[in-house]
Amino acid sequence: MLFETLILGSKIRLTASQNRVADYIIKHEDESPFLTVSQLAKKTGVSEATVVRLAQGLGFDGYPGMQRMLREDLQGRLSTVTRAQEAIEHARSDQDILSRVMKEDLYNLTKTLQNLSPETFHQAVEDIQSARQIFVAGLRGAHAPALILALYLRFLKKKVHLAVPGYGDVWNDILGVTADDLVIGISLPRYTRVTVEILEYAHEQGARVGAITDSPLSPLAFHADWVLAVYSRIDSFIESFTAAVSLINALLTAVSVQNPEETVGALKEREALWKAKKIYMTPL
């Protein structure tokens, strides 16, 4: 449980009342994410202020932030089977599913934009622009946004290595990373262990490390110089990568305008090659 890890790694000394709240959350991990601050205070016999101070002591702005983390952690630990069963229970019609999932993705996009730090985004753009080489790691479902990021960075003549699923290939790709390189990991709950290990290895080698994940408390974040957090929850057996892909679109666009002449030159070269090789169909 991520909350328990956060408590164990925290340097703050909890009061007896705060310990009681923390213990209740850990022991009732399926219930506590859905309790209001007053309900949690009542169940643990403490004041609402004690609950709020616990959340703030753990680095959250207040109880809503901690509650969101608890809910996302619970969602991340649910199996695909459990999540599919819940989606089936909630589904009323195809039209209902279409409307609900798209509205959830609109929410994910809106909340991601509201919570992203412009300074962190700028740092990510600067790191991409200045890196000697860029290694992108995104496995399983996260391989799709990783592929988009790597592909279009190559369009901009960046030297990019994309980690391909498969233990041997992944470690061959990352071998030789240096302090002049940037490693970007992409993973959402349930986090892919190999992606976390890649970021840990890159950090140990002195490389710059970035993470596109769901929270500053994500396992990827522990090894990252910067974290771009995206919302990803939908009522389904899958995670939504809509906000992650939109963020990547923004990163690619921001990188492309850093050096307009270089970007236009690189794209002209590719367009000439595509035309010569007849990559795309010509309209009749």
Report the percent of the chain where pLDDT is more than 90: 54
How buried is residue 231: exposed, middle or buried, by Cβ count under 10 Å (0-12/13-18/19+)? Answer: buried
Query: For the domain bounded by 2-77, which CATH number is listed?
Result: 1.10.10.10
Distance between CA atoms of 157 and 161, rounded to whole angstroms?
A: 12
pLDDT per position as a tens digit, 21-66:
988 988 888 788 888 899 999 999 999 999 999 999 988 889 999 9
Q: Report the predicted TM-score, pTM, of the whole model to 2 decimal places.
A: 0.71
Distance between CA atoms of 236 and 72, rounded to whole angstroms?
A: 14
For residue 152, give both structure tokens.
């279009």
pLDDT per position as a tens digit, 87-109:
666 666 788 888 888 988 998 99
Q: Which residues contact 63 (CB under 8 A, 6 or more apart)?
A: 37, 51, 52, 55
Domain positions in the chain: 2-77, 115-257
The CATH homologous superfamily for domain 115-257 is Glucose-6-phosphate isomerase like protein; domain 1 (3.40.50.10490)
Neighbours of 166 (CB within 10 A): 12
What pLDDT, on a 0 to 100 scale, did the predictor assign at position 90? 65
pLDDT per position as a tens digit, 246-284:
999 999 999 999 999 999 999 999 999 998 998 988 777
Question: At residue 131, does pLDDT exceed 70?
Answer: yes
**What's the chain's length in residues?**
284
How buried is residue 20: exposed, middle or buried, by Cβ count under 10 Å (0-12/13-18/19+)? Answer: middle
What pLDDT, on a 0 to 100 scale, did the predictor assign at position 214? 87
How far, CA to CA in Å, does 269 sit from each of 155, 156, 243? 10, 10, 31
pLDDT per position as a tens digit, 165-194:
765 678 887 888 999 999 999 999 888 999
Q: Which amino acid, one-letter code, is at 259?
A: N
Asked if residue 194 lies in contact with residue 139, where contact means CB atoms within 8 angstroms, the answer is yes
Backbone angles phi, psi at 207, to 5 degrees: -75, 160
Backbone angles phi, psi at 29, to 5 degrees: -65, -25
Q: Band the pLDDT of 13: cuts 50, 70, 90.
A: confident
Distance between CA atoms of 248 and 143, rounded to whole angstroms?
A: 13
